[in-house]
Amino acid sequence: MNYRILGKLALLPLMMSGTALLDAQDKQFELHGSTVREIQEAMDSGELTAERLTQLYLNRIEAYDKAGPRINSVITLNPRALEIARELDAERQESGPRSPLHGVPVVLKDLIDTADMPTSAGFLPMRESQPMHDATIVKRLHESGAIILAKVNMSDWFGVAAPGDQSTVLGRTVNPYNTDLTPGGSSGGTGAAVTAAFAQMGFGTETGVSIRNPTANNSLVGLAPTRGLIPRAGVVLTSFFQERLGPMARNVYDVAALTDAVAGFDAEDLLSTYSLGQMPDQPYTSYLRKDGLVGARIGVLRDLFRSGPDHEEGIALVEAAIAEMKEAGATIIDPVTTHIDMISLMPEMRSNYFEGIFSYDVYFRRLGPDAPIRSVDELIERSGALVKPNIRRAYAELDRLDHHAPYHARLKTQEMLKEALVKLMDAYQLDALVYPFKSRPPEPHLESYRDRDNPVSSVTGLPAILVPAGYTEAEMGPISIEFLGRPFSEPVLFRIAYGYEQQSRMREHPATVPPLDGESFQY
């Protein structure tokens, strides 16, 4: 089910004349701090248009992406963005907004297909690869009235980038909070662009932690949805089980609104059949309550807390966040445990190495006869040493997966862990589990921390949402908490995350990309 119609219903109170407009006279609009709901209120008042909003974001890209701190996140700008914005403004005047996303700019990780812009997957030989069709989520975003403003940098999907860089197409993207630190992989361009306010929100993807790592590194809110909730057709996948698309934004409301726009069954992605009969009958945004923590039962999963001096400051921020949840009315059950050494188990659970070359072939076949690469055979033959060694190794090793015992063992382990976590939540009647996504700040560009993150959500397919928990003092390094839920419990996770966000107000705008003229006004 898609919420394009429900989204319009959710906007009806905002479009009413009279009292609603009178109440809005003294409101303050700030570009980097406003939700899409507040954007629609400003547009309804007549003080903001889609064209003006789009221009404000373009101004920021011009000032800060290739100039100033040189965030270097944008691969391709949509040349028709302002024209599309004007068309949407005219449509608003004639028939009203299509949804809460009407006229709102969005950025996409550059492995999500757009029929009007290239999709490079960060790989230089595919720099000009032009898909024939929009990805399903792009089609749904267009239908909602969102503006695809740009395709952004990412960890190179197929190639070996220079040390410290993300891709062979664009090179290094930096973290707006501290340009000496990484924005995270592999959706680092989305993370950096959204936190620098180059768009209202964006989409990333993950096989392991690639939505959540840049979400944490850039002090954003991000959703790694239940497996099958958001369709993936038209996306370069590394795994047909683990790969997920997820919304990333500067607040919980926008993440929920993006999920409303794109979630639900799609015949081109049969994994989305899992969502049939599981979707709520109201928009996800309707579950957000300021007192969302009151009465929530949250278990502290100590299995995923790391120890040692490198983790102390991050753990302290997470402990403070848990204490704040309790103060706000949550029932905290601490500790809860699966009695499984999950941290040691994680490296042996991912299935993407085995599935990658098969998933890539499916994507390449979608591109058509004029594509620069049309199969994994051509990828290996034409790009040679530029191709990642693990892809070349899998290409030589794997023919089919029917009787591949190590692969099957990983799938069984994933299912075992999923069952253990759900049983744990059932045993304590929990709404969610909480733990640090990671307890170390983002690493410098040329370093790699092994003991950093918790990929439990991706290997089990359970939904997780991240919310900022604070910053380390020395590096101004963001730290996030993660809430994990049962399958298709996104309404509950949104309620809890929103309640914590409203209670804590932890997110700060990065100093390297300050507001520009015109981004703040009263109406």
Q: Is the peptide bond before 155 cis (omega within 30 degrees of 0)?
A: no
Catalytic, 210? Answer yes
Nearest to 485 by CA among 477, 476, 475, 495: 495
Number of helices (H), then strands (E), belonging to the chain: the values are: 17, 13
Instruction: Evaluate whether 113 touches 234 at the Cβ level (below 8 Å).
Output: yes
170: left (phi over 0), alpha (psi -120 to 50) or beta: alpha
Distance separating alpha carbons of residues 230 and 457, to the nearest angstrom: 15
Of 186, 272, 275, 351, the active-site residue reads 186
Instruction: Evaluate whether 2 touches 140 at the Cβ level (below 8 Å).
Output: yes
CB atoms within 10 A of CB 160: 13
421 Cβ contact list (under 8 Å, min separation 6): 338, 433, 456, 460, 462, 484
CB atoms within 10 A of CB 375: 15
347 Cβ contact list (under 8 Å, min separation 6): none
Catalytic, 186? Answer yes
CB atoms within 10 A of CB 128: 9
Catalytic, 155? Answer no
Give the burial string for 103-125 (b: 16+ CB within 10 Å, else e).
Answer: bbbbbbbbbbbbeebbbbbbbbb
Instruction: Evaluate whether 246 touches 224 at the Cβ level (below 8 Å).
Output: yes
Calculate helix-pair angle for 36-45, 4-15, nearest 10 degrees.
50
Of 34, 99, 109, 383, the active-site residue reads 109
Of 120, 144, 167, 210, the active-site residue reads 210
517 Cβ contact list (under 8 Å, min separation 6): none
The catalytic site residues sit at 109, 186, 210
